[in-house]
Amino acid sequence: MNFSRRRPDPVASPSLSSLIDVVFLLLAYFVLTAAFALPERSLTPAISVDGQGADASAEVEPQVVQVRAQSGQVVYQLGAQSHSTLDALRAALRKLPQDPGLVIKAEPGTPFGAGAGAIQAGRDVGFQDITWSADGEPS
Amino acid sequence: MRLGRGHPVQRTPDLTPMVDVIFLLIVFFLAAARLEQDRREPVDLPMQAGETEQNRREGLVLTLLADGTLRIAGVSRDIEALPALLAEASRDGMPSVTLRANREVDVVVIDRVIRLLARSGVPGVEMAVSPGGDS
């Protein structure tokens, strides 16, 4: 009878290559998807067309912000006041009552970004009722 | 000298390359699905904070490039053809409309699109903006 003791198996160390592969692949996936996820948001003004806007039946006269481009500079006209920056427009809008709402009218030649800025300024100071006026020359 | 033949060693196949390939395929399909979902034309949107998150899964997305070209699903369209397109798209109800317009587009073009949308029965338009500052 042979009672010789078997030698214990050497401790097998697990191969880490697969684990590292998987970790790097997951890392690559999340990096890629994070880069592709473009954060877009929306502005949702009411629309006024042919003089029929969201507040056409309102009894109070809405306050109008005229947006126009003068020699490459955007001007926001609020009544008799002209403002050249959105911060100045926000400061002026804060002094106005919000119940009558706000109408944004952009003149031809004005870049859309300036009009969107006026909508944003109105929202920033708390106007709920903002209307984009597309009452210009009909096409 | 004796060259004895030993017993052939039974080797188990290395599974590492197969696991690698499977994970690569999974990543590929996931990334491809994500790209398909986000496949929108790059547009320099107005840099504003916006009000709401965009509903990216439903509705009609109109893209206006800097030169005033209207593109829908990657195809250039005549702006005047919008009512006909909307009539076709609204068989199952009027879709919500997202307007992705370049920030330099003249508002004349924006107003023209909005008038056509309104006359086609679209109640409102979401204007896409890109958070990042005032412009």
- Asked whether the beta carbons of residue A41 and residue B131 sit closer than 8 angstroms, the reply is yes
Pull the structure tokens for residue A8. Answer: 């214990």
A33 touches B at CB < 8 Å: yes
Q: Which residues in B lie closer than 8 A to residue A86 (C-beta atoms)? A: 134
User: Does this model's pTM top 0.80?
Assistant: no
**Domain residue spans of chain A:** 46-133
Of 3.30.420.40, 3.30.420.270, 3.30.2000.10, 3.30.830.10, the CATH number of A46-133 is 3.30.420.270
Residue-wise pLDDT tens digits, A36-86: 556 788 999 998 887 665 554 556 677 999 999 988 899 999 989 999 999
Judged by CB atoms closer than 8 Å, whether chains meet at A44 and B34 is answered as no
The total number of structural domains in chain B stands at: 1
Which residue does chain B place closest to A127, by CA atoms? B51
Give the pLDDT score at A139: 45
Q: Residue A131: what pLDDT?
A: 92
Q: Which domain holds residue B103?
A: 60-127
- CB contact A90 to B (< 8 Å): no
Q: What is the CATH number of the domain that holds B81?
A: 3.30.420.270
A positions 60-89 inside 8 Å of B (CB): 67, 86-87
Task: Quote the tokens at residue B130.
Answer: 């890109």
| Contact by Cβ (8 Å): A48, A131 | yes
Highest mean pLDDT among A119-128, B4-13, B14-23, B119-128: A119-128
Residue by residue, DSSP assigns B41-110 as ----------SEE---SSSEEEEE-TTS-EEETTEEE-GGGHHHHHHHHGGGSPPPEEEEE-TTSBHHHH
A 3-32 residues with CB < 8 A to B: 15, 17-18, 21-22, 25, 28-29, 32
Given a contact cutoff of 8 angstroms between Cβ atoms, the answer to whether B86 and B117 are in contact is yes
